[in-house]
């Protein structure tokens, strides 16, 4: 049988296909198209401090080399040595750059190692020592935030369900942020499109509103915008916030964007810019923030020191806790963190927020590295400036306090939310809501940080606060003389009454103030017979400028001859209960 003639020339090391320049151009074009598609969807920062950048470059190099092998005909050889020799010849430049990057990654990782740079890691966060009673002012009960994130989300969903023109097209986002808005602790969250079809139907006008929730009064407002938000994390294509940022700031690394509103109620995205301060990949920190107008997409970068004061959150709670852990573990060196562990501390497993001085502070406890269910202190960190203060207050850690509060109501099966930190009678105090199995707030609890067996509960915040103050006195933790009170003297121009869960409170408005002073009949029996026109002195705690101020005691300085006020009283109980209370009050008088 005759063999067929084979005209194919064997591949050898001297083979040079024609049109080399054309093939290189094809390789580049394929690589560029692939790179653009990958960049468009994955959005890696083109920054040597970003590990995703190296993966992106290695992937492009692999695509180029693969194209070179195909277009040059190298793949046809059976000679392994000749194959690698030709690959080296056609892919020399990308291979050299990849090798250089590998060396850079190795050296950069070593320079970023916490083993070698423990001192640098411990210096990322500057810690100042604070005075709790001076730094954390006592607030009136009508300024205590009563909502956690989960409760706020439920209220937002319920409010949106009342709006027929929105509920079928939009949903409430899970990205709700706590902020200090007009000196009130608030949560704000944008709406998101219900699904892809609803995005197609509404994308022209954008998202028409956001939800604003007062964490004290639990009032929920859907704020409608004159022009809809067109740049959000729920958008697609070039209006997607992440893509909008990447194409405008290709070299910037960003932390998760935070939704906020300015003093005029205009929606913005606060996008913290990440930098690495130690070696190539270590010492993660924030260098500033890009503020993006959610309506028109206009953006401006501000260095950390120049961020506008209406912005509440630039440094995330997770970043501050991470940097404190470096400080707590490595202040005495890396070896001490493993062997002697002298003075080694870490943050606890949760955090919460406190609104102070027109800013939002992150709070978390500090415990020993051994995890002995107790705190040695806690930190407060300004989330706009990163100013951090440490307070040495030994006591129960948050989850122990939660368990203590749950133990008081264990017969009801309530669960406690992660606590807030408050100043009550100069005592660091955990405040938390108690929820039933359906997630509804049923009661409130206050737990003393130093002595977590001191637990007060109440159906309302003011009842809980009054019960807690009595326990502080009964347990000799505070005395009447040390309780930080302020006096208000004036003529009673208005008197109101409210029965809150079985306890009678009288609200007095004086001619010297715009506030109402709430005094419990149980604390000051004289409040029952004080009338409009009487001159009184009321001791109170908290902010004198609040709408309702918690009074602790009342003294009548002069008695008016005018007839008692006949103004109707206000009660939270049914009419028949109020009538009984009024008759009892008259009998007491």
Residues 43 and 79 in one domain: yes
Whether residue 9 is contained in a domain is answered as no
Whether residue 75 is contained in a domain is answered as yes
Rounded Cα distance, 40 and 238, in Å: 9
Residues 169 and 276 in one domain: yes
Average pLDDT, consecutive stretches of 10 residues, N- to C-terminus, the chain (589 residues)? 44 52 89 96 96 95 90 72 74 90 94 94 94 82 75 83 82 87 88 92 93 88 94 94 97 96 95 96 96 97 95 95 95 89 90 87 89 83 95 89 92 91 89 89 92 90 84 80 69 87 82 86 85 89 69 82 44 38 36
Residues 48 and 196 in one domain: no
Angle between helix 20-42 and 51-72 (nearest 10)? 150
Residues 296 and 152 in one domain: yes
Q: Please tell me what DSSP assigns to residue 356.
A: E
Whether residue 122 is contained in a domain is answered as no
Local structure of 154: helix, strand or coil:
helix
State which of 253, 279, 314 marks the end of a domain.
314
| Total number of domains constituting the chain | 4
State which of 111, 131, 160 marks the end of a domain.
111
- Triad 386, 252, 300: Cα angle to 5°: 75
What local confidence, expressed as pLDDT, does residue 370 receive?
A: 72
Whether residue 383 is contained in a domain is answered as no
Rounded Cα distance, 259 and 392, in Å: 33
Question: What radius of gyration do the chain's Cα atoms show?
Answer: 33
Residues in the chain, how many? 589
Whether residue 429 is contained in a domain is answered as yes
Residues 188 and 309 in one domain: yes
* Distances, alpha carbon 367 to alpha carbons 221, 328, 333, 343, 397, in Å: 39, 10, 19, 10, 8
Residues 491 and 534 in one domain: yes
Residues 297 and 149 in one domain: yes
Residues 223 and 292 in one domain: yes
Query: Residue 447: which domain range?
Result: 398-474
The helix (H) or strand (E) run that includes residue 273 is strand 267-278
The pair of structure tokens assigned to 64 is 């180029």
Compute how many other C-beta atoms are within 10 angstroms of the C-beta atom of residue 469. 21
State which of 444, 474, 504 marks the end of a domain.
474
CATH number, position 521: 2.40.50.140
Q: Which residues of 512-523 are buried (b: 16+ CB within 10 A; e: fewer)?
A: ebebbbbbbbeb
Rounded Cα distance, 437 and 443, in Å: 13
Whether residue 237 is contained in a domain is answered as yes
Residues 156 and 202 in one domain: yes
Half-sphere exposure of 307 (CA within 13 A, CB side): 27
Residues 160 and 304 in one domain: yes
Whether residue 339 is contained in a domain is answered as no
Local structure of 462: helix, strand or coil:
helix
Beta strands in 93-152 (DSSP E): 127-129
Residues 149 and 285 in one domain: yes
Specify whether the CB–CB gap between 581 and 499 falls below 8 A: yes
Whether residue 138 is contained in a domain is answered as no
Residues 261 and 291 in one domain: yes
What local confidence, expressed as pLDDT, does residue 542 receive?
A: 59
């Amino acid at each position: 049988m005759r063999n067929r003639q084979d005209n194919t020339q064997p591949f050898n090391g001297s083979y040079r296909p024609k049109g080399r320049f054309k093939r290189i151009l094809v390789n580049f074009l394929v690589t560029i198209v692939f790179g653009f598609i990958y960049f468009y969807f994955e959005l890696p920062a083109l920054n040597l401090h970003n590990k995703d950048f190296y993966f992106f470059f290695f992937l492009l190099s692999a695509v180029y080399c693969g194209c070179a092998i195909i277009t040059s005909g190298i793949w046809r050889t059976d000679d392994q040595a000749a194959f690698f020799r030709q690959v080296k010849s056609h892919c020399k430049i990308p291979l050299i750059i990849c090798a250089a990057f590998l060396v850079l990654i190795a050296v950069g990782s070593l320079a970023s190692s916490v083993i070698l740079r423990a001192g640098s890691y411990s210096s990322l966060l500057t810690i100042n020592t604070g005075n709790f009673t001076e730094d954390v002012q006592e607030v009136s009960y009508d300024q205590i935030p009563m909502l956690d994130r989960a409760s706020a989300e439920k209220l937002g969903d319920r409010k949106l369900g009342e709006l027929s023109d929105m509920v079928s097209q939009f949903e409430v986002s899970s990205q709700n942020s706590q902020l200090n808005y007009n000196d009130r602790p608030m949560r704000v969250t944008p709406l998101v499109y219900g699904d892809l079809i609803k995005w197609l139907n509404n994308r022209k006008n954008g998202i028409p509103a956001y939800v604003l929730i007062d964490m004290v009064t639990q009032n929920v407002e859907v704020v409608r915008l004159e022009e809809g938000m067109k740049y959000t994390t729920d958008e697609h294509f070039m209006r997607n916030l992440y893509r909008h940022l990447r194409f405008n700031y290709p070299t910037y690394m960003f932390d998760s964007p935070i939704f906020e509103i300015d003093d005029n109620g205009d929606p913005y995205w606060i996008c913290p810019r990440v930098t690495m301060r130690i070696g190539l990949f270590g010492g993660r920190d924030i260098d500033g923030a890009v503020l993006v107008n959610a309506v028109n997409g206009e953006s401006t970068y501000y260095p950390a020191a120049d961020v506008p004061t209406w912005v509440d959150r630039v440094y995330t709670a997770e970043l501050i806790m991470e940097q404190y852990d470096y400080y707590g573990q490595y202040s005495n060196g890396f070896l001490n963190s493993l062997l002697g562990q002298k003075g080694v501390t870490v943050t606890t497993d949760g955090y919460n927020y406190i609104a102070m001085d027109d800013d939002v502070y992150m709070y978390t406890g500090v415990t020993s590295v051994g995890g002995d269910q107790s705190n040695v202190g806690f930190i407060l960190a300004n989330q706009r400036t990163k100013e951090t203060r440490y307070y040495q207050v030994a006591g129960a850690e948050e989850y122990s306090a939660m368990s203590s509060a749950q133990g008081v109501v264990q017969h009801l099966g309530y669960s406690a939310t992660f606590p807030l930190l408050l100043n009550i009678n100069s005592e660091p105090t955990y405040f938390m809501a108690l929820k039933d199995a359906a997630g509804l707030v049923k009661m409130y609890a206050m737990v003393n940080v130093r002595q977590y067996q001191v637990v007060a509960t109440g159906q309302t915040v003011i009842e809980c606060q009054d019960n807690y103050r009595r326990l502080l006195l009964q347990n000799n933790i505070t005395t009447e003389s040390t309780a930080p009170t302020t006096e208000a003297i004036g003529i009673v121009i208005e008197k109101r009454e409210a029965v809150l869960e079985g306890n009678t409170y009288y609200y007095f408005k004086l001619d010297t103030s715009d506030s109402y002073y709430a005094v419990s009949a149980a604390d000051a029996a004289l409040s029952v017979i004080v009338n409009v026109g009487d001159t009184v002195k009321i001791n109170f705690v908290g902010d004198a400028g609040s709408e309702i101020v918690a009074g602790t005691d009342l003294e009548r300085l002069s008695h008016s001859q005018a007839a008692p006020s006949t103004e109707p009283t206000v009660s939270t109980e049914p009419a028949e209960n109020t009538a009984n209370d009024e008759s009892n009050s008259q009998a007491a008088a």
